[in-house]
Amino acid sequence: MKGLFITFEGPDGSGKTTQMKMLGEMLQSTGKDIVYTREPGGTAISEEIRKILLNPSNLGMVDRTEALLYAAARAQHVEETIRPALKEGKIVLCDRFTDSTLAYQGFGRGIDIDFLKQLNNMAVAGITPDVSLILDINPELGIERISEKRVLSSGGGKDRIELEHINFHRRVRDGFLHIARTEPGRCRIIKADQDRNAVHADIFGVVKEVLDSENP
Ligand SMILES: Nc1ncnc2c1ncn2[C@@H]1O[C@H](COP(=O)(O)OP(=O)(O)O)[C@@H](O)[C@H]1O
Ligand SMILES: [Mg+2]
């Protein structure tokens, strides 16, 4: 049985976590088997790598180290979590994946895109998303949303990536849009500045289309 691999991409505060949960609950209510996972992370080893990547004290991390650590976490995640779940026919919902590498390390940091594509290919070893939902939002609004979330939850300070300058986040957003336009088959741009039910309806529309095309 073939599973379905759906990735949620887009800037911080675009609603990935919120929408993953809403989609997962909707699909679960129709009897589907759902696996929720995230990058960097999704396995014990990859969660350890996540801590290094997001630790605000690691400001001295050079760009290539960052790119290689994301790739290392991904390789482990694919083999330990994603590939086995897909083999069992499950629907895997993943918060960030290969497009985030291109958007952040490529468009954000300026690392060569072709090099990053090769690195991604090595990390995923043949596993590619069936559909990637690119949640598009003005980065100022995204940052405003996560600041509000922090006040509400009295959560800690910003992580290492969130601390980047607004221009970095603008390049990341443009990067996501560029990727989506170059791979229109796999990627779907979702307007993320709507209320959460409207965003969910758009996402469900896309996923239903994909499910219907797999089981006509
Ligand atoms: N459509 C929306 N409109 C307004 N606020 C939203 C919307 N979707 C999510 N939020 C809120 O914005 C914050 C960031 O959402 P989240 O899902 O954590 O984004 P991400 O995972 O992409 O960083 C949360 O506090 C969430 O409740
Ligand atoms: Mg999130």
- Domain layout of the chain by residue ranges: 4-214
Q: Tell me which residue has its CA closest to atom 10 in ligand 1.
A: 15
Burial (Cβ within 10 Å: 0-12, 13-18, ≥19) of residue 149: middle
What is the C-alpha to C-alpha distance for residues 23 and 33, in angstroms, rounded to an integer? Answer: 12
Ligand 2: distance of its center to the CA of 13 in Å?
7
Q: State the ligand closest to the CA atom of 38.
A: 2
pTM of the model: 0.95
For atom 8 of ligand 1, the residue with the nearest CA is: 15
pLDDT given for residue 107 in this prediction: 98
Q: Where are the beta strands (DSSP E) in 43-169?
A: 91-95, 131-136
From first to last of the 216 residues of the chain, give the pLDDT tens digit.
689 999 999 999 999 999 999 999 999 999 999 999 999 999 999 999 999 999 999 999 999 999 999 999 999 999 999 999 999 999 999 999 999 999 999 999 999 999 999 999 999 999 999 999 999 999 999 999 988 877 777 667 788 778 788 999 999 999 999 999 999 999 999 999 999 999 999 999 999 999 999 877
pLDDT in the model for residue 214: 82
Ligand 1 in reach of 136 Cβ (< 6 A): no
Buried b (16+ CB within 10 A) or exposed e, 36-56: ebbbbbbbeebeebbebbeee
- Give the model's pLDDT for residue 161: 78
- Does the beta carbon of 15 sit less than 6 angstroms from any atom of ligand 1? yes
3-class secondary-structure state, position 4: strand
Which of 3.40.50.300, 1.20.1260.120, 1.10.10.60, 3.90.226.30 would CATH assign to domain 4-214? 3.40.50.300
Give the pLDDT of residue 155: 65
Q: In what order do the strands lie in the sheet with 34-38?
A: 34-38, 91-95, 4-9, 131-136, 187-191
